Homo-oligomer: A and B are copies of this chain.
Amino acid sequence: MTGTRPHIVIVGAGFGGLAATKALAGAAVDVTLIDQRNHHLFQPLLYQVATAALSPADIAGPIRAIVANMPNVRVLLDEVTGVDKADKQVALGSGRTIAYDWLIIATGARHSYFGRDEWARHAPGLKTIDDATAVRRKILLALERAETETDPDRRKALLTFVIIGGGPTGVEMAGAIAELAHQSVSRDFRSITPHCSRVILVDAGPRLLTAFPETLSASARRAIEHLGVEVRLNAPVTNVAHDHVEIAGVAVPTHTAIWAAGVRASPAAEWLGIGADGAGRAVIGPDLTVAGCENIFVIGDAAACKGPDGRPLPGIAPVAKQQGKHAAQMIVAAIAGRTAKPFQYRHFGNLATIGRSRAVIDFGRVHVTGFLAWVLWSAAHVFFLVGFRNRFAVGLSLLWNYLTFARHARIITGEIPAAIPTETPREVRAEIRITPSLQPAR
């Protein structure tokens, strides 16, 4: 690195930030990649960590390892707290500042509770590794507690899982939980049986997977109902508490609610003092730059970028990756004195998976469902995983899980909260012996 080369600061090492970094590796520039975590996360498989099928490290790669062979890239573990457009500096959580010639903001989104932030405690979302291990702990502890619970109503509540939001994440979570709850209890538990568990997928809209054509929504619904998931549509969630979810005004007792209903962009628009859309996404121009600052790009889930149909592009990995690459190419072009062209999104298709052997794929004119779709989904996800080691391990784990129904990562980490209080101490041994009808047949 020399002191005279343009310095490009990229904030966020998700799909967008990493695509930009890769496109700038080897160019005559210095790159600083800032992230508040030390790993890139393959978010599309996060639900597999939450349901104990994969380990965190299977879907997360250290950022430093990914860019190890890019000598002009420097990695910084820090949090961005603001941007000074006039002085061309980024302020960091550590108190430092870092100057840029070009800035790419790719900070993604968090889940949003539509102003009801108090729901977050009871219905965690799924964006980070820590989110996923928290959800895993919640699901596994509910099963553990149901095993020793003798009160039928409490047991029913412990074995009720409510997934809020019928998009791809909600559909994937519901399918995976149904499989976990129905299949692993049949061998591993003594008092609870598969038919005790209830998995409810709830959405305020009239169908699942609204980004897909109606026929695929219907197909996904049939597939997920086949797994034993109860689908509730046109059913807004009106409250979330520690022991129930209120669906269209009716309380459903549950100790495991999971949020997959909405996201809110990271505060890039606030940092830059520019406009944002209803989901908090920074409004940018068709070339992905901020109005009046052609050296600042916002990409991926943090940005509101309109597609050819005038609607904002969806918050999915291909959009972020293509935008990251485009921003990098524009910077290289500008440095070389060439002019920029607007960003054009190339859509390949939408995918969602349902359980261990079904999926739906929308390629535009071609729709694929069922097992073939699942095979394509598996291949695509394993292929796009960053790094050969992960790709290999995940491929192996997916295959192994498919063949054996195993969930090898079924470990509860972190503090185990106090058990759900019971009125009176109870004789567990007596309980074992008076409920033979609940034993699975052997």
Contacts and interface: CB of A to CB of B under 8 A. Distances in A.
A38 B187 CA distance: 15
Interface stretch (A64-72, A110-118, A312-320, A322-330): A64-72
Contacts of A413: 56, 129-130, 133
B419 A78 contact: yes
Contact of A38 (B36, B68, B396, B411): B411
A92 B144 CA distance: 15
A219 B152 CA distance: 62
Interface in A177-210: 184, 187-190
A8 to B, nearest CB: 11
Interface residues of A, number: 79
Given A188-B64, A442-B71, A98 B429 contact: yes
A436 B71 CA distance: 12
Copies of this chain assembled into the complex:
2
Interface stretch (A257-265, A340-348, A375-383, A420-428): A420-428
Interface string A8-31: 000000000000000000000010
Contact of A96 (B37, B62, B140, B425): B425
Interface centre among A1, A64, A78, A425 (most CB of B within 10 A): A64
A368 interface: no
Contacts of A95: 419, 421-422, 425-426
Nearest to A60: B411
A96 B148 CA distance: 10
A256 to B, nearest CB: 16
A71 to B, nearest CB: 5
A389 B414 contact: no
B400 A389 contact: yes
Nearest to A439: B1
A242 interface: no
Contacts of A436: 1
A58 B65 CA distance: 21
Interface string A123-140: 000000110010000001
A3 B432 CA distance: 9
B187 A96 contact: no
A295 to B, nearest CB: 15
A107 interface: no
Contacts of A237: none
B429 A93 contact: no
25 contacts: A1-B432, A32-B428, A36-B416, A38-B140, A38-B412, A39-B411, A55-B56, A55-B57, A57-B408, A60-B411, A62-B188, A62-B411, A65-B184, A65-B188, A65-B406, A65-B410, A76-B428, A77-B144, A93-B419, A95-B419, A96-B148, A96-B422, A97-B427, A98-B427, A393-B408
The 7 closest A-B pairs by CB, nearest first: A64-B188, A94-B419, A57-B409, A55-B55, A62-B410, A77-B144, A39-B411
